[in-house]
Structure 1
């Protein structure tokens, strides 16, 4: 079913000032939608960067001839995203703040503000697709047509009823075509052309410096060899490290060592060689089921363990010893580290998100 099958009186577009959100406005205007631009004002330690983004969005709205609103979400963003980010690192996990932001802020508090201003739907520049079942009882997210930009991974935790009021105008687009059209329309004269791959509130992609600014204290502890139990050295605080890390450990050994496990209870970091990172069994909790729940388990599907990873064929079943968790068994050992705190997102054979959750530490 096309997202453009029926017109709505007022669509709010999440306008960042970048090419994707700007072109989302143009697509909607082309189909005759009444559009207003909304920009989130979020907490950011880099005030210049924050103000530049707000100014860019305002210029784009003027260029496109639409009404523009700025929504102050600094306080809820700090609580739902920044504090979460801080807590997870201090607990020895590697967080995924984009999942939290999409669920609680952009498609939560922000959408509520759009509704309060009369908006019936929210459109964003996400590269993903909304899918509904033939009986319209089930709704979910599937992968975008452009696999290099697909963002369905970040949307597994969005409430199903919220999905019914979302529009993703770029669902069937490819990034290179979007850029080309933006240039032809003259949008590149006003948009912010740069595309940051960093976390928006982490200056220079240096999360350690940010955590220190937020008050994190280094508490040294032991590096232990996971296989032998031998003390290999002293770490500088568990939040400075992540599972899978090799560089910056400051430990001499006959082979390259990687962080394989972080134990916050004893302030200990375990190291071992690369082969000890490989696993094909992943425990996942904090589950959010989306399309087609409840489902009978086990089921066959594929799983993404990182945003840019390739989905791996897998079997999903209830965890045999941890209630409320699932066990994902991949057909082949996962390439790279399976990192606690990151999201694991399961897709069915039609590339639709079935469920997602948070990777738990290995026992």
Structure 2
């Protein structure tokens, strides 16, 4: 007679909620606050942790930013309301070394970085996750809109039920080992209104708090100003040139430009609008051209994180969906592994504005499953 299978709680762990310790990564916003409150109400042993990522009084900080002073205060109030312990951990040095410095250096190198991915990869899902293990937690929960589903070979990463809120683009580098330990209790919700309704139900002080819009350490989206503070000699002048190398104008630093940019080029009297199609940091050139020059079909990738069941190199090509921007739906493509963590993606429909430093995220064409992704670079 077969033995009875152990009963799993709502987090998929074979323990009673009261015996299950969950560290909740709390940013101070409504999403992570609802996760903590929901689990506390279900009877879990919740421990809230908020990361202090930079000096609140420094020039980089701004009111309402993720993990700024107000957010730490809000996370603490939620913990007091729901009656669970809350800790603030100083991660300033780690955040600067792992995220901010690379952000500045990438911009100086003519790339368009996505620091939120690096923060998840190198701070929240690496260092904070290890802290959760040190606290003897059974798992760590976050307020991200993404789903963890059990498949035939273990946990899988899937897009959120709400495509508008889906954050899979920013979590592609989550490893299988991390996924074993992580939980995403909001991924099944179909809109943000449901999250705010839960916040109101629990009486949370952040129920009506606006969502943060900018990168936490970039006030008002002014990337160039932040980079100049971090790298005072960053803004070196140079030339704006056409695709044949002819100088059309001068600029005050390539940190002020991104691939796909049209406005603010300072070039007049032309028959057609020009766009930034490439940044050449070695020559300090901003290369401009017609919109058609932005179309990209072949995308070289490195630092591949593969979450598929079969090994990436087990066959020559994979037909998948990819996102090269967080706001665009997956588009059909062919993934060709090259070597180790290198690959090339061929987009069946060319995309505009693809830039080194951005992520290319892989999806199953027939499902919501996230198959990993890689970082776009200049080539082999």
Which residue number in structure 2 is paired with residue 46 of structure 1? 61
* Counterpart pick for 1:121 among 123, 126, 139: 139
Aligned pair 1:197/2:199, yes or no? no
Structure-1 residue corresponding to 2:97: 79
Q: Aligned pair 1:300/2:316, yes or no? A: no
Offset of 1:324 from its aligned partner?
Answer: 4.7
Question: Is the contact between residue 157 and residue 290 of structure 1 (CA under 8 Å) also seen in structure 2?
Answer: no
TM superposition shift of 1:183? 2.1
Residues 305-345 of structure 1: CA distance to partner in whole angstroms, max 9, x if unpaired? 111111111111135xx8853221222121x3112110000
Instruction: Name the residue aligned to 2:79.
Output: 61
Whole-Å separation in 2 of the counterparts to 1:206 and 1:2: 45
Deviation at 1:265, TM superposition (A): 2.0
For residues 323 and 11 of structure 1, do their structure 2 counterparts lie closer, same or farther at Cα, with a shift above 3 Å needed?
closer
Q: Please, which runs of 5 or more residues in structure 2 have no aligned partner?
A: 1-7
Distance across 1 between alignment mates of 2:9 and 2:325: 29
TM-score with structure 1 setting the length: 0.92
Equivalent residues, number:
356
Matched, 1:313 2:328: no
2:11 to 1, 4, 15: 4
Pairing partner for 2:263 from 236, 247, 251:
247
Query: Following TM superposition, by how much is the alpha carbon of 1:293 offset from its aligned partner in structure 2, in angstroms?
Result: 4.8
For residues 149-196 of structure 1, give each alpha carbon's deviation from its aligned partner in whole angstroms, at most 9, with x where no partner exists: 111111111222111011111110132211122223322x34570111
Residues 204-240 of structure 1: CA deviation (Å, up to 9, x unaligned): 21111111111242111111111x3321111211222
The 3 A distance-change label for structure 1 pair 3 and 306 is farther
Asked whether the equivalents of residues 29 and 206 of structure 2 are also in contact (C-alpha less than 8 Å), the reply is no
The answer to whether the 8 A contact 1:3-1:167 is kept is no
Question: For residues 103 and 291 of structure 1, what CA distance do their matches in structure 2 show?
Answer: 18
Say whether residues 1:353 and 2:370 are aligned partners. yes
* Residues 149-168 of structure 1: pairs in structure 2 closer than 5 A: 149-168=165-184
Pair 1:186 & 2:203 matched: yes
Q: Does 1:35 align with 2:54?
A: no
CA contact (8 A) 1:283 1:362 kept: yes
The 1:76/1:339 distance shift into structure 2, 3 A limit, reads same
Query: Which residues of structure 1 form unaligned runs of 5+?
Result: none
Q: 1:106 aligns with which of 114, 120, 124?
A: 124
Structure 1 consecutive aligned stretches of length 4 or more whose deviation exceeds 4 Å = none
User: What is the alpha-carbon distance in structure 1 between the residues aligned to residue 282 and residue 49 of structure 2?
Assistant: 44
State yes or no: 1:329 paired with 2:363: no
Instruction: Note closer, same or farther for the CA distance 1:3–1:235 as it changes in structure 2 (3 Å cut).
Output: farther
Matches within 5 A, 1:214-229: 214-217=230-233, 218-226=235-243, 228-229=244-245
Partner of 2:274: 257
Q: How far, CA to CA, are the matches of 2:378 and 2:38 in structure 1? A: 43
Q: 2:263 & 2:9 partners in 1: Cα distance?
A: 48
Under a length normalisation based on structure 2, what TM-score does the superposition of the two structures give?
Answer: 0.88
Report the counterpart of residue 266 of structure 1 in structure 2.
283
Match of 1:290 among 293, 299, 307: 307
Cα distance in structure 1, aligned partners of 2:71 and 2:260: 34
Point out the more displaced range, 204-213 or 86-95. 204-213
Say which is worse superposed, 92-101 or 272-281, in terms of deviation.
272-281
Q: Distance in 1 between matches of 2:340 and 2:200?
A: 53
* Alpha-carbon displacement from aligned partner over 1:35-93 (angstroms, at most 9, x marks no partner): 11111111152276521111111111111111111111111000000001011001000
Question: CA 1:126–1:3 in structure 2 vs 1: closer, same or farther (change >3 Å)?
Answer: farther
Output the CA distance in 1 between the equivalents of 2:379 and 2:259: 11
Residue 4 (structure 2) aligns with: none
